[in-house]
Structure 1
Amino acid sequence: MSLINTAIKPFKAQAYKQGKFVEVTDVDTKGKWAVFFFYPADFTFVCPTELGDVADHYAELQRLDVEVYSVSTDTHFTHKAWHDSSETIGKIQYTMIGDPTGTVTRNFNVMRESEGLADRGTFVVDPDGVIQAMEVTAEGVGRNAADLLRRIKAAQYVRAHPGEVCPAKWEEGEKTLAPSLHLVGKI
């Protein structure tokens, strides 16, 4: 079942952010764009490359008024230990949610129940708490933060410009489409 255009479910979780343990709830995500970036586990192989890629783009995400929440079923304590021991993870400034009960992971339908691990899932949530984009990949397939940025910019553009849509490969500043009867069969 698709979660597109559905509101995120309530949650409360412990997280690690910039040297501190913090509590995060669904209410904290309201009023700005959010990315929930699920991954299987700390101290693994593809995961640090993805989290590091998002960290490299975090300043631009912040300029777009987007907050990032990485989520795994590890604890917030494990996130701190990984942050302290890995150069790649050490550059992360965004919130790392610990979800050992799997509540947040199940809320987004990315729990591998037989393993207690999250799939690689990315969810773009608008300021109203509604999911506007999602991507789920197999464990061995890493994601690309540059494409995530492109999708966020497209979602933000569509929200700000009702009646317009962004075509394939749309980049900020490029032409959009205004769906209408006269476009049917002409693209």
Structure 2
Amino acid sequence: MGIIGSQLKPFKANAFQAGKDFFEVTQDDISGKWAVFFFYPADFTFVCPTELEDLGEHYDMLQKMGVEVYGVSTDTHFAHKAWHDTSERIGKLKFAFLGDQLHTLSKNFDVLREDMGLADRATFVIDPDGVIQIMEQTCEGVGRNANELTRKIKAAQYVRNNPGQVCPAAWEEGGETLAPSLDLVGKI
């Protein structure tokens, strides 16, 4: 998996989300919705809380866009709760954290570092049909940018809702799009 255009594989994971009891999430829970799977190496680390806090600042906007957000690491849902309860940054977050201690999701998305039992720093955007539309993977020390993720999701939603249109580089909502045709070849 992990390839643009591939189908989300079946999974089952225990989750923690602030204000809720522990609950189970499967591929059926995101069927018909946009979803972000935001993999990070481990709870109680360094770059991860900065990324998750940044994503959390975009959570309400993503929800308005119809996007479910899942933070995923190979920690348990119990560790996610403990981190939420003890970290000021993580304690503010409203999205769900999936425990992947059996490595099902990390293997499904091909982001598991087998020698360490940890997930790589990777982001996947799934469309309502369960198809991967966006993926990003960075090295251990490079954090991601939720502004750029949000922009890419808006572009993917636009393209889905406007067949025959594509979004050029640095496209922002409301900006000009392109209708690919032979007339544009060599003119851009």
With the length of structure 2 as denominator, give the TM-score of the two structures: 0.98
Quick one: distance in 1 between partners of 2:31 and 2:50?
28
Partner of 1:164 in structure 2?
165
Partner of 1:17 in structure 2?
17
Count residues with an aligned counterpart: 187
Partner of 1:5 in structure 2?
5
Partner of 1:143 in structure 2?
144
Contact kept? 2:2, 2:132, Cα under 8 Å? no
- Displacement of 1:2: 5.3
Letter in 2 for 1:179: P
The share of aligned pairs that are identical, in percent, is: 67
Quick one: distance in 2 between partners of 1:101 and 1:181?
49
Q: Secondary structure at the match of 1:92?
A: coil
What residue ranges of structure 2 are gaps of 5+ in the alignment?
none
Partner of 2:99 in structure 1?
98
Divergent runs of 4+, >4 A:
none
What residue ranges of structure 1 are gaps of 5+ in the alignment?
none
Contact kept? 2:2, 2:110, Cα under 8 Å? no
- Displacement of 1:63: 0.6
Quick one: distance in 1 between partners of 2:2 and 2:97?
25
RMSD in angstroms over aligned alpha carbons? 0.8
Q: Please say if 1:66 is aligned against 2:67.
A: yes
- Displacement of 1:18: 1.8
Quick one: distance in 2 between partners of 1:156 and 1:85?
36
With the length of structure 1 as denominator, give the TM-score of the two structures: 0.98
Quick one: distance in 1 between partners of 2:163 and 2:33?
18
- Displacement of 1:3: 1.2
- Displacement of 1:38: 0.1
Letter in 1 for 2:174: G
